[in-house]
């Protein structure tokens, strides 16, 4: 058999992931095929939009977007912020389209939008003088001007905002600022947190902050950012925390450990364990854990191809609520609930997936937004009554500013 560059490239693009042994009398076909695979040079991903053949067969070979460094949804799940090597952008989620572009040639590692306002907090990627990872800048996208900046001595790992508070997460510290005056109110010790694991309630009347506690692995520290006082704690997992999320009002806390097998939902007021969700037996790295806008659903993504959506029971009908004292693993598996809905996206190699659910109390369907690290924005329809497999309705490509 004769194999040229064109034939090998076609094999790759059709997702021939498994190693194909080609029997040849001199066993040279396999060597030639492997050599061509290694020599392939693919065009930038922006010229190759994500093409999904069907909802049940979503396989393709892709590489990470060469420009994108950070993606995040705003607190209302209506806008997407994107940090790139040359600037940052904001996109409308429905319909998907560009809302704001700042392409000044500088890279940004963190881009956080305050609700649906023109205030954006950005952190540099450290690849240009003046925009180090230790500097936070506040931008007004309406005027395209920088409002203010804050400097720290160590890299900023995460930024969170609501209308009253600005929270800065460092490696072992969390700083709480008054957003209007940019005055530091409190500083707390936290567990080593290079991943920037944290969550701040979007409702400024509660301003509840959840961070990993330095008192022990698997413990969540709850801080009331409006009222100074001793933080509360919830013993969520035996192992180290992998992800945490608060709902919009800060009444519910979802947690996952570094193992990623179980998702637990707690009441932040009583600290009771309300329910446990079973993601899977295998250990995974959780990439995204978030509540829907109404708090009725929790969506989880990992380094596996399935996106899990769980339905949170009403507080009045909660499943065997109990204090946050850790139970046995066997008891966890017995009481855990399986996913309510799902999406399977098989990519090779598997990229990071960020998700958000935009739902409303008076609607029987919701929108699931999926962003891949290759720069694709995919919208699915979620049946909030029946669940099951979500249906893809559109796909777009994110372009660097």
Burial code of 98-110, b = ≥16 C-beta within 10 A, e = fewer? Answer: eebbbeeebbbbb
Q: What is the mean pLDDT of residues 358-362?
A: 91
**pLDDT tens digits, one per residue of 151-208:** 999 999 999 999 999 999 999 999 999 999 999 999 999 999 999 999 999 999 999 9
DSSP state of 365: E
Q: Name the pLDDT band for 346 (thresholds 50, 70, 90).
A: confident
pLDDT digits (tens, 9 = 90+) for 290-338: 999 999 999 999 999 999 999 998 865 444 545 544 444 545 544 578 8
Q: Residue 103: pLDDT band by 50, 70, 90 thresholds?
A: confident
First to last CA, the chain: 45
- Closest-CA residue to 239 (of 224, 254, 261): 261
Average of per-residue pLDDT across 361-384: 94
Q: Output DSSP code: residue 126.
A: S
**Which pLDDT belongs to residue 274?**
95
For residue 290, count CB atoms less than 10 angstroms from its CB and return exposed for 0-12, middle for 13-18, buried for 19 or more. Answer: buried
Least confident piece of the model among 346-350, 366-370, 380-384: 346-350
Compute the average pLDDT of residues 115-139: 88
Query: How confident is residue 228, by pLDDT bands cut at 50, 70 and 90?
Result: confident
Please tell me the least confidently modeled range out of 44-58, 201-215, 263-277, 293-307: 44-58
pLDDT higher than threshold 70 for residue 276:
yes
**pLDDT category of residue 21 using cuts at 50, 70 and 90:** very low
Reported confidence tier of residue 399, pLDDT bands at 50, 70, 90: confident
Residue 279 to residues 125, 260, 299, Cα–Cα distance (Å): 33, 7, 10
Query: 3-state class of 102 per DSSP?
Result: strand
CA distance 65 to 58: 19
Q: pTM for the whole thing?
A: 0.80
Task: List the one residue out of 167, 157, 158, 72 whose CA is nearest residue 113.
Answer: 72
Residue 330's pLDDT is 46
């Amino acid at each position: 058999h004769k194999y040229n560059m064109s034939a090998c490239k076609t094999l790759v693009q059709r997702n021939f992931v498994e190693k194909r042994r080609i029997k040849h009398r001199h066993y040279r076909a396999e060597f030639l095929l492997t050599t061509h695979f290694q020599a392939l040079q693919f065009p930038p991903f922006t010229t190759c939009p994500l093409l999904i053949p069907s909802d049940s067969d979503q396989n393709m070979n892709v590489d990470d977007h060469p420009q994108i460094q950070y993606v995040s949804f705003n607190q209302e799940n209506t806008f997407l912020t994107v940090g790139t090597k040359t600037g940052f952008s904001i996109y409308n989620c429905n319909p998907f389209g560009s809302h704001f572009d700042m392409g000044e040639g500088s890279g940004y590692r963190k881009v956080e939008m305050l609700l649906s306002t023109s205030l954006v907090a950005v952190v540099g990627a450290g690849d240009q003088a003046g925009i180090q990872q230790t500097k936070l800048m506040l931008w007004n996208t309406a005027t395209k001007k920088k409002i203010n900046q804050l400097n720290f001595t160590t890299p900023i790992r995460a930024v969170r905002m609501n209308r009253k508070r600005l929270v800065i997460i460092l490696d072992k510290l969390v700083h709480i600022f008054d957003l209007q005056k940019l005055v530091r109110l409190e500083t707390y010790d936290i567990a080593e947190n290079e991943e920037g694991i944290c969550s701040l309630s979007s409702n400024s009347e509660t301003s509840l902050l959840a961070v990993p506690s330095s008192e022990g692995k698997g413990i969540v520290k709850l801080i009331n950012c409006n009222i100074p006082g001793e933080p509360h704690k919830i013993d969520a997992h035996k192992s180290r925390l992998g992800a945490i999320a608060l709902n919009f009002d800060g009444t519910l806390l979802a947690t996952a450990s570094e193992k990623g097998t179980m998702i637990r939902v707690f009441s932040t007021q009583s600290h009771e364990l309300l329910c446990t969700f079973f993601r899977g037996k295998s250990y995974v790295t959780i990439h995204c854990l978030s509540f829907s806008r109404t708090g009725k659903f929790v969506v989880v993504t990992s380094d596996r191809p399935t996106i899990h959506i769980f339905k949170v029971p009403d507080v009045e009908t909660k499943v065997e609520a109990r204090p946050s004292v850790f139970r046995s693993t066997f008891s966890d598996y017995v009481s855990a609930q399986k996913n309510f809905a799902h999406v399977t996206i098989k990519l090779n190699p598997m990229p990071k997936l960020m998700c958000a659910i935009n739902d409303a109390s008076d609607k029987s369907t919701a929108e699931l937004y999926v962003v891949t690290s290759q720069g694709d924005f995919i919208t699915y329809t979620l049946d909030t009554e029946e669940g099951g497999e979500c249906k893809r309705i559109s796909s777009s490509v994110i372009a660097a500013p």
